[in-house]
Amino acid sequence: MDPNSITFAFFLIFSGAAVLASVALYTRQPMLIAYIALGALIGPYGMGYVTDLKLLSDIAHFGIIFLLFLLGLDMQPQALISTMKKASWVAMISSVAFAAIGYGVAWSFSFTHTESVIVGAAMMFSSTIIGIKLLPTTVLHHRHMGEMMIGLLLIQDVIAIFVLLILLSGDVGEFDLMLLGKTVIALPLFILFAIGFVKYILLKLIQTFDRFHEYIFLLAIGWCLGMAEAAHMVGLSAEIGAFIAGISLATSPISQYIAVNLKPLRDFFLVLFFFSLGARFDLSLLGSILLPAAILALLIIGLKPVIYYGLLRNVSERKPLAWDIGFRLGQISEFSLLIAYVATGASLIGKEASHLIQATAIITFVISSYIVIFNCMTPIAVSDKLRRD
C-alpha cells in the first residue's frame, strides 16, 4: 500500500485511534487524549507515517461544522435569545480578563508586543468542541445550563470573527471597515434568509418526501454545508453558518431525527480534528516554549472557572451552575489554534509564539477534560453517578 495515500493515512489514524482509545477506556482516561497522542506519535514530527496535514486539517474542520449544526438542532430559538442577554455581558468581560492574562504571560517571557497581543487574543475563547462533547445531550442541552454555555460560546465565536478579520487585514489594530460593515450587515440578513428558506422550501420538501430516509439525510447535510459555505462567503464563519442552519430547523419535528442520524458522521470528523491537533505540533520547539506554556495553561485552567463563577453569580446564576459552567469552559479554543495559524501565515508572529498557543491549547484541553470527567455529569465520566447521556 502507498504510504502517501489517504487510504493508508486513514487506516493508521482510525486503527491507531481504536487501539489507544481502548487503552484510554480501560484506564478511565478521556478518549480525545488518545487521539491527540496518536497525532503526535505518527504525525510528521513523530514517526512521520502521516504527513498530509493540510488535507486532514481541512477534513477535520467538517467535525466542528457538524458539531455546531447538531448543537443548533438541539436549541429552541426563544430560549437562546433570552439566555444570550445574560451571556453577552459575561462573555465580553471575561474575554478582556483572559486576554490580559495571555498578554501578561507572553510579554513577561520577552515575546514582542504584537505577539503578546495575539497570544492574549487566543486566550479569550473556550472550546466549543470540548464544552459540548462533554455535555450530556439528553440531560443538559434543553436545560438552562446548556443554554447559558451555548450562549457564551456563540458570543465568543462572534468575537473570534472580529479578531480574525483584524489578523487577515495584515496589521494588528487595523482592519478593513468595509469588510467589517459587510459582516455586521450580513448576520441579521443571513438569519432571516435561513428562517425563510426553511419555512417556505426546506420543510415542504421534508414533508413531501419524509418516507425516504436517505433523502432526509442528504438534505440535512446539504443544508448544513451549504449554509456553512454561504456564511464564509459573506464574511461570517462556517461554524456560525452551520449553527444558524441547525437552529432554523430546531422547531421542526424532524430535527431530532436528523440530529441522531448525523452524530456518527460528526464523531468521525472530530477524531480527525484531535489527531491533526497533535500531529501539527512541532516537538523540536517544545523546550523553548514549555515553561511559558505551562504557566499560561495553569493560569487559564485556574482562573477561568473563578472568573466565570464570579460573573455568572453577578447575573443571578446559582452557585452550582456557575461553578459547573466555569469548569466546563476552563480551556482555550479551537479558534485559538486558528488564530495561531492565521497569524503565523501573515507573518505577525513567529513559530515560537504560534507553538506557545498550540501547547497551551493541548495542555488545557487535556487537564480540563480530566477535571470535567472526574467532577461533572458527562457521557464519559469515571463515576457511574456522574455518567449521563
Task: Convert the pLDDT of each residue in 357-382 to its tens digit.
Answer: 989 998 998 888 888 877 777 666 55
Q: Which three cell numbers stand for residue 294?
A: 505551562
Q: Assign 116 to helix, strand or coil.
A: helix
Pairwise CA distance, residues 320 & 309, whole Å: 9
Rg of the chain, C-alpha, whole Å: 20
Please list the ranges in the chain whose pLDDT falls under 70: 1-4, 28, 74-80, 82-83, 136-144, 165, 168-184, 378-389
Q: What is the pLDDT of residues 106-155, one digit of tens each?
A: 999 989 998 999 999 999 999 877 787 777 665 444 566 777 887 788 78
- Please state, in angstroms and as integers, the Cα–Cα distance from residue 385 to each residue in 57, 130, 365, 377, following that order: 36, 21, 23, 8
Ordered DSSP codes for 296-355: HHHHHHHHHHHHHHHHHHHTT--HHHHHHHHHHT-S--HHHHHHHHHHHHTTSS-HHHHH
Give 272: exposed, middle or buried? Use CB within 10 Å, 0-12, 13-18, 19+: buried
CA dist 240 and 311 (Å) reads 25
pLDDT of residue 10: 87
pTM for the model:
0.74
* pLDDT number for residue 173: 46
